[in-house]
Each structure stands twice: as structure tokens, then as C-alpha cells.
Structure 1
Amino acid sequence: MLRLFLSGKKCPLPKSPGTVLISRSGGLGDIIMTTPLVRAIRNHYPKAHIVYLVGLEAAPALKNNKDINKIIAFDEKIIFGKKIGKILELKQKIMALDADMCFILDKSKWWNVLMKLSGIPVRVGFDRKGEGFSNTHNIAFDGEKSELEYYLEMADLIGARIPSKATVFNLKEDDHRYARSFLHEHSLDRKKVLAICPGGAKNCGHAFPLKRWLVERYAELINELPTAIEVVIIGGPMDKEIIDEMKGMLKRRAYISYDASLSENAALLAHCRLVLTHDSGLMHIAAALNDNVIALFGPTPALRFAPSNVKVIDKHEEYPPCYDIFGNTSACQGYEGMNALSAGEVQKVVLKKLDTQ
């Protein structure tokens, strides 16, 4: 019945749209992965007023992005809590934009339906096993390649030139100044500095601690590193408990930054020689700013979520990812893929990376 009344009919793509809406919910990493598409849309429609609809927690991922004219940040709790009144208010905000077209980057049919009900005439989205029925244009989604490749397919669908596949996280000079000051204050300017991000893997709608490597493994790795390698542990306020736990296991010096802003910590990631983390928002931020990143993967498929410029370490041959294309984690109970990664094998990759710099 839903399909009958809300099905979308293919229509011509606008040649010069006035307002273009891009929508994506999710965490920081989810948003950063969309930035090459945003750049392609801007290049294809240089005169368009581009609006990005994004959750409050992930909105900082788009800060200072020159390809976007306006950011509308909404509380994702209204979606997860099914607060119909608030969702209708959001629909009114979308309708008020009078957008000529939209790019729906979530895979869920409910986002597709919301954009149709909001009266946007051209709706480009994904068809995940039939969920794109209300869109006018679809990219088939089966989860068999990287998220970035699906977004670039979308750019290709509208005939947009893809100037670069590099993701974007913009920094200001003040952010770089913080990073340089931090390194100078601790006499790390000329040393080999390994940044470690042990937290994350949670956002407003979803916590997925199985994506994290064990705190004791990170601590074991740090304790066994040569003294010539300095360590900076980076995270946000929500990571304080994890970082404090890890700090208590350390037998050697490590520096900590979790009181800084997201962009200041991002600059610190950019200035370190090497970054070690797992599938998280900070992994995507680091990869956008630094080509020397090691990422540990377990329940989520590196094929879909790993940036192309990171070194992936996983045990997927023995422990295949349990996170499916619908975002379900029910098959992850008892998953041991991250626990199977030893400190020793990760340390070998860390040392090899640092030795080649």
C-alpha cells in the first residue's frame, strides 16, 4: 500500500537547480564519507544553493566546508524515538527550502518517503533491496563495495565530474596552532609521534563498542614501543573513561588530549607521524588529513567503511564481519574478531610504518 501511494516516477534531472538538498544522518564518519560527492555536486551545479541536512552530533564534520551554503542540524533522537510531531516539524523545514532536487544518502525507505512527502520533485537516492520505491532516481545498493564508490556512482548518475576521491575535513589556522603548540609544549616537535584513538564507535542513535580494540591491547602495545616513539592519546569528552582506564595500565609516558575541540584534535592527528585507531569517526577524520593511518577492523566490513588511504588490519578470514547492510548487529553476539588481534602483530605494522618515514 505504501508503495502504491508513494512511488516515485522518473523525471528529467534539472540542468541548473536553484536549491539542492543533501541529507545524511549518522556519525561523523558517515558524513565525512559523503564529502567527495558534495564536492562533485558543487562543481556540477556551481550556482546552486546547497543545503546539507545532518544530525546535530555529526554537524561538526561539515564545519568550514566551502561547498555547502547552509547546514541544517537536527536532533536525531526524534528519528530514533519516533517523535512524530518533531518529525513533522522537520518536514516543514524541508518544505520551506523549496528545493528543486535532493540527494538522499541514507539507505532507509523512511528518509526517501520523507523527502517525497516534503514535495521535492527530483529525489536521487539508494535502492536497498526495494527501499528506493519513492525516489525518482536510484543507485542500487548491496553493500558489496565502499560507501564512497556508491556516492561516486550517484555523482556519475547526474553527469557530475569527480575532481577527487579524497574526503574533506576542513581546519582553521587556529586549529593548526593548537596542534603545533601541544607538540612544542611537550617537546615532541621533532620526534616520531604515534597518535592513538581508543574511543569513539558511538553516536546519538547507536553505540557499537565491539568496533573498539581492547583497551588493554592498546596499553600493551604502548608499553612495548621503543622509547624513541612518543605517544599521544586522542579522544573527546565521551572517551574520558576509556582513556583514563588505559592511562592506568601504562608503564611509560604518554600524552593525552581529550579536552580540546574536535577540530583541534583533528589538527593534532594531522601533525602526528602516524595514527592508530579502529573503525570510528576519528579514523575518518585522520584519513582526511593524514595519509599515515592504521585502522583495526572487526565487526564492520573494511570493504565498505575503510578509507582508501589507510592500512587495514583485520581477522576477517577467520571472523567475517557481522554488521549487515541494514545496520543490524544481532549476528554480532559473541563476536571475537577484534579480540583476535594481538598487540604484537599490530605493533609490527606500527614499527614498519614509522621506520619507512
Structure 2
Amino acid sequence: MNLETDNFTQHIAVESLQKILVIRRDNIGDLICTTPLIRGLREKFPSARIDALVNSYNRPVLEENPDINEVYSYTKAKHRERGESVIGVHLRRIKMLLQLRRRRYDLVILANGGYLPRPLGLARWVAPKHVAGFVPPPPEAHSDIIDLSTPIDETVPRHEVENIYRLLAPLGIDGPPPGLRLQPSDSARLAAIRKMADAGWDINAHQPTVAVHISARKIPQRWPAERFSELMRNLHRQIGCRFLLFWSPGDENNPLHPGDDQKAATIVDATRDLPVIPYPTHRLDDLVGGLSVCTAMICSDGGAMHVGAGLGLPMVCFFGNSDAAKWHPWGVPHRVLQKPSRDVSDITVEEAATAFSALMGEGAA
């Protein structure tokens, strides 16, 4: 059954929605782009219980979110701890889903960008009174479980934030989405401040602290190490900024979890005379805490970019073969650099320096 917005508000009292579960099981950036939806829910239902179901890798995105009552997470088999069996992972997931079922949610929102079988399966387990989610466009629009449906619409270019926010229309929530919401844990932020103090940096100095994130999952998004080094030298000479150098730790030849230890070592060696703090991030909350003490950011498109945007950092971001219109930093001053080749290696140091100087010149940091 598909209900239009007016039918929903006519037959179901808004006040009856007192227990809501938002499900999003995708990547870091996807979940951060869902925080405006959660914020919109909280503004509409200030006294409701609003929970979230995410994967364990992304959990830190929501742990400090004031709009959420409780975050539930499950571990994907590929992210299981060393020594943990696949069977053990699945048993824990089943136990958690049964716990959610006992919550008797009034509404589950499938906050993913399409009509996907796995989130639908999770909603069946939870067995809420109502399910909101995307369905294929007419005439195929139909679901035996989604009764508050939003047709998938790829005819209009939208940012991911705007697209996901459309799921709230059947609840009478529309208009422009609010900003992203991401907060570091106290411990992660304090750890970053200690690193700065240990390096002899004046925490309160009016000196730009620039986050330089060098890792990218996709090959066309990876900017060369020597250009990062040259850009840092250029910016320090022009602006006098200091740097926190972020990367995903590990060996670049690891087929499961490749890292950028070698790339980072090359950059650190080439910038020894600059104020640079190496900042490998083994966990997502390490990245959130480290970025929270910065004033601006340089990075490629990816999860770290959205983390920076969630923390309000103005940034220069390199886009390779991804859709900048859909995935650019939401709600913060930014400069997107993307070449016709869709390969960031074609972006020059001069272009990056010019974009960053213009960003800073507008009072972004």
C-alpha cells in the first residue's frame, strides 16, 4: 500500500509516532549525509524516541549526536574482530534484531539511496507499524512493506542530503534540509589537543591549522605524495599555516585493508622543516577528534571529506570519477577541483594552492 502525504496525516495522528528507528548501513559519508534527516525528525517529534541502526564501523558518526536516543550497530562479516567467527557475528546480529523487535517501533525509515533488499529484510525483522523508504518510480512503484513511500527520482540532480531528506515528505516534513551534525567524543578531541601540546604548539594561537588527508579508496581519487608536500610548502610560505597530516594506516599492498604508511612517510620526510603533526587514524573517532581541532581541510572525495563537512570545516576537495554535484561537501564553504579526465592526478599544485588561498581569503577559516 502506498499512502500520499495528505492520506497519512489524515488517517495517522502524527503524535502516534513516538518510537522511530532510522536504518542506514552504508559508508561513512552516506551516514553523515543522513544526519539532516535525523535532525529534521527531532525537530518534528521533539519528545519521540529516535534510534538508529548502523554498522559498527560507522557507529562513531552518531554516538555523540544529540538527536539520537540510542545507536544500535551490527558488525559486517568483513569487519569482524580477529579471532571472531562469521557464525558469531550473525548470532549477535540476530540477538540485536530481536531486541529491536521487542521495542515495537511505530516507524522504521530506510534511509538509503534506493530500493534495496537488505534494509528491507532488516525492517521485516524489526516489524514496525509503518515503514518509510524509496520505491521504484511509477508504474513499478510498489512494496508490500513500505507504506510511506517516496518514488526514486533520478531526473532531478540532487545532493545526497537533499535526496535522503525527501523520505520525510510523507511525514509532513519538507523544505530545505538542515545542516550536517557531527560531534567528536571528549576523549578523541582531548587526544588531538594533547598531540598539539606535545609538539609544542600553542593551542590558542591565531594560526590556521590545516588538515591534510592523503588517503582515498579509489585510485582516480589519489593525489601524489610529492604534490601534497609541495602544496604544504606553498601554503606555509603564503599563509603561515601548520598541518595535521591524516591517513589510513597500513601497507599499500594489503589487499583487504590497504593503507598509506609509505605515502605518509614520504610526505613527512619532505616536510621536516614545517610544522606538521603526523596523525594516522586507526579508528573513525580518531579522525573525528583530530579534525575537530583544525580550521580548514584539504582532501579527496570520500568519508573523511564528509567528516570534515560535518564538523564545519571549509575545504578544498579533489574529485576524481565521482559525482561532485551529488557528493560535494554539504553546508560548508568549499572549492571542488575536478578535471575532465576524472583523475585527480591531473590537478596541479598551483590550482590547489590558488583554490585554498581564495577560500581562506573569503574568511572561511
TM-score (norm 1): 0.78
1:147-199 per-position Cα deviation (integer Å, ceiling 9, x unaligned): 11122222233113779621011135555444444444433533233210112
Is the partner of 1:225 in helix, strand or coil?
A: helix
Helix, strand or coil: the match of 2:335? strand
- Where does residue 193 of structure 1 map in the other structure? 209
State yes or no: 1:315 paired with 2:326.
no
Match of 1:346 among 336, 348, 352: 352
Q: 1:232 to 1:259 in 2, by over 3 A?
A: same
What is the one-letter code of the residue matched to 1:122?
H
SS in 2 for 1:102: strand
Q: 1:246 is matched by which residue type in structure 2?
A: I
Pair 1:291–1:222, CA change in 2 (3 A): closer
- The residue that corresponds to 1:322 in the other structure is none
- Report the secondary structure of 2:347's partner residue: coil
1:120 aligned partner? 128
Offset at residue 60 of structure 1 (A): 0.5
Asked whether 1:21 is paired with 2:21, we answer: yes
Aligned to 2:83: none
**Letter paired with 2:227:** R
Secondary structure of the 2:343 match is coil
The structure-2 alpha-carbon separation of the partners of 1:72 and 1:78, relative to structure 1 and needing over 3 Å to count, comes to farther
Find the counterpart in structure 1 of residue 244 from structure 2. 232
Structure 1 equivalent of residue 43 of structure 2: 43
Secondary structure of the equivalent of 1:339?
Answer: helix
Separation (CA, whole Å) in 2 of partners of 1:290 and 1:111: 30
- Cα distance in 1 between the residues matched to 2:150 and 2:346: 36
Partner secondary structure for residue 164 of structure 2: helix
Per the alignment, do residues 273 and 91 of structure 1 end up closer, same or farther by CA in structure 2, a change over 3 Å counting? closer
Corresponding residue for residue 232 of structure 2: 222
Q: Cα deviations across residues 13-57 of structure 1 (Å, max 9, x unaligned)? A: 552223211000122221111111111112222232222000000
TM-score if structure 2 supplies the norm length? 0.77
What one-letter code is carried by the residue in structure 2 that aligns with 1:125?
Answer: G
SS at match of 2:235: coil
Q: Which of 143, 147, 151 in structure 2 is aligned with 1:140?
A: 151
Coordinate RMSD, CA, aligned: 3.3
- State the Cα distance separating 1:115 from its structure 2 match: 1.3
Maintained 8 Å contact 2:141/2:151 = no
Structure 2 runs not aligned, ≥5 long: 81-85, 251-258
Question: How many angstroms does 1:140 deviate by?
Answer: 2.6
- For residues 100 and 164 of structure 2, the distance between their equivalents in structure 1, rounded to whole angstroms, comes to 22
Matches of 1:40 and 1:88, distance apart in 2: 30
Give ranges in structure 1 of 5+ residues lacking alignment: 1-7, 202-207, 320-335
Equivalent residue in structure 2 for 1:281, among 289, 303, 308: 303
Following superposition, the deviation at residue 291 of structure 1 comes to: 4.0
SS at match of 2:133: strand
Check the 8 A contact 1:102/1:124 in 2, yes or no: yes
Distance in 2, matches of 1:79 and 1:240, equals: 19
For the Cα contact (< 8 Å) 2:224–2:345, is it kept in 1? Answer: yes
Structure 1 residues 127, 213: closer, same or farther in 2, change over 3 A? farther
State the match for 1:73 in structure 2: 73
Q: Deviations over 1:193-212 (max 9, x none)?
A: 321011254xxxxxx34333
- Decide whether the 8 Å contact of 1:25 with 1:76 is kept in 2: no
Give distance in 2, aligned partners of 1:291 and 1:261. 20
Question: For 1:105-156, what per-residue CA distance to the aligned partner results, in whole angstroms no more than 9, with x for missing partners?
Answer: 1222331244135422311111256586341122233453111112222223
Q: Which amino acid aligns with 1:214?
A: P
User: In structure 2, what is the Cα distance between the partners aligned to 1:147 and 1:215?
Assistant: 30
**Structure 1 residue matching 2:173: 3-state secondary structure:** coil
Count of residues in correspondence between the two structures: 327
